[in-house]
């Protein structure tokens, strides 16, 4: 699975949009981009995933560039409960699906 | 509905003791994963089960680590002769299908401290 690069930390004001970037320049054509987050003392939680089209669900939006070498996770209206470590993961679509986590981005949402 | 549960939530062991960590996946989930998360790091893959078959154990750090899922539901991760470097959070995750497109549902983890 391709490696990902994320900033180690980001801050966001409550109620504003949080935009978390991820670089995955070596991604292959059949690999998906997944986002998970981990709130303190909990297990990781799935957020969203995509292949090449932009995706949106009740939690977030995922914007993937046309060349698929980078993506952005958008939390449209961040709340204090969104403070967590966010992991961007590239995962092969044909594999059984083990996840390779990096260091992630620590997002801190401020009042 | 019940999610993935793990027990115990916390375990303290003296160096050299054996420990057993339990994972109850979501009912009906075919795939089960174990991960190890050291302090300040992202989780790292240990092993994968498809029903009762252990298809990948490439992430187990040594032969002191053993996992089983004899009836294709509950899984146990056993660590023999624990060492201080085994101190970590052990996470279990389950997934409904066989292919890589399914999301994984994680339990809360077991925090193991080896003294």
Do residue A97 and residue B107 have CB atoms under 8 angstroms apart?
Answer: no
Do residue B99 and residue A93 have CB atoms under 8 angstroms apart?
Answer: yes
Q: Pick from B44, B105, B108: which is nearest to A42 by CB?
A: B108
**Is B45's Cβ below 8 Å from some Cβ in A?**
yes
User: Do A22 and A5 meet the contact criterion of CB atoms below 8 Å apart?
Assistant: yes
Q: Which of A35, A87, A98, A103 to mutate to test the interface with B (most CBs of B within 10 A)?
A: A98
Instruction: Return the sign of the alpha-carbon dihedral for residues B57, B61, B63, B64.
Output: negative
Q: Which of B47, B101, B110 to mutate to test the interface with A (most CBs of A within 10 A)?
A: B101
pLDDT at residue A73 greater than cutoff 60: yes
User: Do A8 and A107 meet the contact criterion of CB atoms below 8 Å apart?
Assistant: no
d(CA B50, CA B56): 9
Residues whose CB falls within 8 Å of the CB of residue B104, separated by 6 or more in sequence, listed in order: A44, A46, A97, A99, B31, B33, B93, B94, B95
How do residues B34-78 score in pLDDT, each as one tens digit?
999 999 999 999 999 999 999 999 999 999 999 999 999 999 999
* Residue of B59, B71, B68, B60 whose CA lies nearest to B21: B68
pLDDT at residue A68 greater than cutoff 70: yes
User: What is the arithmetic mean of pLDDT over B76-103?
Assistant: 90
**Is B57's Cβ below 8 Å from some Cβ in A?**
no
Q: Which two tokens stand for residue A99?
A: 């996840």
pLDDT of residue A70: 96
User: Do B5 and B92 meet the contact criterion of CB atoms below 8 Å apart?
Assistant: no
How do residues A2-61 score in pLDDT, each as one tens digit?
789 999 999 999 999 999 999 999 998 888 999 999 999 999 999 999 999 899 999 999
How do residues B4-41 score in pLDDT, each as one tens digit?
999 999 999 999 999 999 999 999 999 999 999 999 99
Do residue B104 and residue A97 have CB atoms under 8 angstroms apart?
Answer: yes
How do residues A88-100 score in pLDDT, each as one tens digit?
999 876 567 789 9
**Is B34's Cβ below 8 Å from some Cβ in A?**
no
pLDDT of residue A95: 64
pLDDT at residue B101 greater than cutoff 70: no
pLDDT of residue B103: 87
Q: How many CB pairs under 8 A join A and B?
A: 68
pLDDT of residue A21: 98
pLDDT of residue B27: 95
Q: Pick from A98, A102, A103: which is nearest to B33 by CB?
A: A98
pLDDT of residue A77: 96
């Amino acid at each position: 699975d391709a490696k990902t690069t994320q900033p180690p930390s980001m801050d966001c004001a409550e109620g504003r949009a949080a935009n978390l970037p991820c670089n995955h320049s070596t991604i292959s054509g059949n690999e998906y981009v997944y986002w998970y987050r981990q709130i303190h003392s909990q297990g990781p939680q799935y957020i969203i995933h995509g292949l090449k089209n932009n995706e949106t669900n009740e939690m977030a939006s995922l914007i993937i560039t046309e060349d698929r070498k980078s993506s952005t996770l958008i939390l449209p209206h961040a709340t204090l409960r969104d403070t967590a470590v966010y992991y961007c993961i590239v995962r092969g679509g044909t594999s059984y699906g083990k996840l390779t986590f990096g260091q992630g981005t620590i997002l801190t949402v401020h009042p | 509905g019940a999610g993935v549960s793990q027990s115990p939530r916390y375990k303290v062991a003296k160096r050299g003791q054996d420990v057993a960590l339990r994972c109850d996946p979501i009912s009906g989930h075919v795939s089960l994963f174990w991960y190890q998360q050291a302090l300040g790091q992202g989780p790292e893959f240990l092993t994968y089960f498809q029903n009762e078959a252990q298809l990948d154990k490439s992430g187990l750090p040594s032969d002191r680590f053993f996992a089983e899922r004899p009836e294709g539901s509950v899984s146990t991760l056993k660590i023999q002769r624990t060492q201080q470097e085994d101190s970590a959070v052990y996470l279990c995750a389950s997934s409904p299908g066989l292919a890589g497109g399914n999301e994984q549902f994680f339990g809360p983890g077991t925090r193991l401290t080896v003294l």
